[in-house]
Amino acid sequence: MEDEMDLEIEAMGKVSKALGGLEEEARGRVIRWAAERYGISLGAAPRKQSGGGGGDNPGAEDVDDEIEEEAHEESPEWEHFAELYDATGASTHPEGMLVAAYWVQVLKGQGSFGSLELNKLLKDLGHGVTGTAKVMSNLIAKKPALILQLKKSGKSQQARKTYRLTDAGKKAVEQMIANGA
């Protein structure tokens, strides 16, 4: 498991280095190609308005619009976390943390998150979690893991940790959405 995480972090570094020199539109095309190539579903992220046409790749905006339309057809849009939470029917602390992780990573496009960030979302709805570290550990311990710990800053057990939702975690939330609908 640890070797796999090291490989994953190394791959993320290589991707970051490769994309770092590209303009935003080019990064989007590369990421969409990679997602399609490896069979990964991208969540619909908020689109930034471009400065009006042309560019280096004529017709790219049409392709982007088609991809965005397909994404809207496949998954419902939630304007607020409360709407997503309600749609899943989450009833336990681990389910709530998983839904919050999905909101932050998949729908808001963050690459990683901390448990405090997730718990703040849940507290705002009146579903705050006590013992977030234990809940996150339980999600990591599931087979397959629903969340991965990417790093820990500090040496104490209470040190801040950074997490990422796994594909199995995404599928679990999507199944909750399907069952709740």
Long-range contacts of 35-42 (CB under 8 A, 24+ apart): 40/167, 41/74, 41/170, 42/71
CB 45 within 8 A of CB 89: no
Q: What is the pLDDT of residue 118?
A: 94
Query: 7-34 pLDDT, tens per residue?
Result: 777 777 788 788 788 788 877 788 878 7
Write the Ramachandran bin of 125: left for phi over 0, alpha for psi from -120 to 50, otherwise beta.
Answer: alpha
Count of CB atoms situated within 10 Å of the CB of 55: 14
Query: Is 106's pLDDT higher than 80?
Result: yes
Does the structure show a pLDDT above 60 at 60? Answer: no
End-to-end CA distance of the chain: 35
Fold of 81-180: Arc Repressor Mutant, subunit A (1.10.10)
Burial 58-82 (b: 16+ CB within 10 A, else e): eeeeeebeeeeeeeeeeeeeeeebe
One-letter amino acid identity for 14?
K
Q: How far apart are CA 86 and CA 91, in angstroms?
A: 10
DSSP sequence for 91-153: -SHHHHHHHHHHIIIIIS--S-B-HHHHHHHHHHTT---S-HHHHHHHHHHSSS-SEEEEEEE
Return the SS3 of 162: strand
Lowest mean pLDDT among 35-49, 69-83, 107-121, 139-153: 35-49
CA pair distance 54, 57, nearest whole angstrom: 7
Tell me the average pLDDT across 67-81: 59
- The model carries a pTM of 0.58
Which candidate, 94, 85, 90, 91, places its Cα nearest to that of 135? 94
Out of 1-10, 34-43, 47-56, 161-170, which region has the weakest mean confidence (pLDDT)?
A: 47-56
Mean pLDDT, to the nearest integer, of 115-120? Answer: 92
pLDDT for the residue 37: 75
Q: What pLDDT, on the 0 to 100 scale, is given for residue 1?
A: 56
Domain map of the chain by residue range? 2-74, 81-180
Q: What is the pLDDT of residues 118-175, one digit of tens each?
A: 999 999 999 999 889 899 999 999 999 999 999 888 777 667 889 999 999 999 999 9
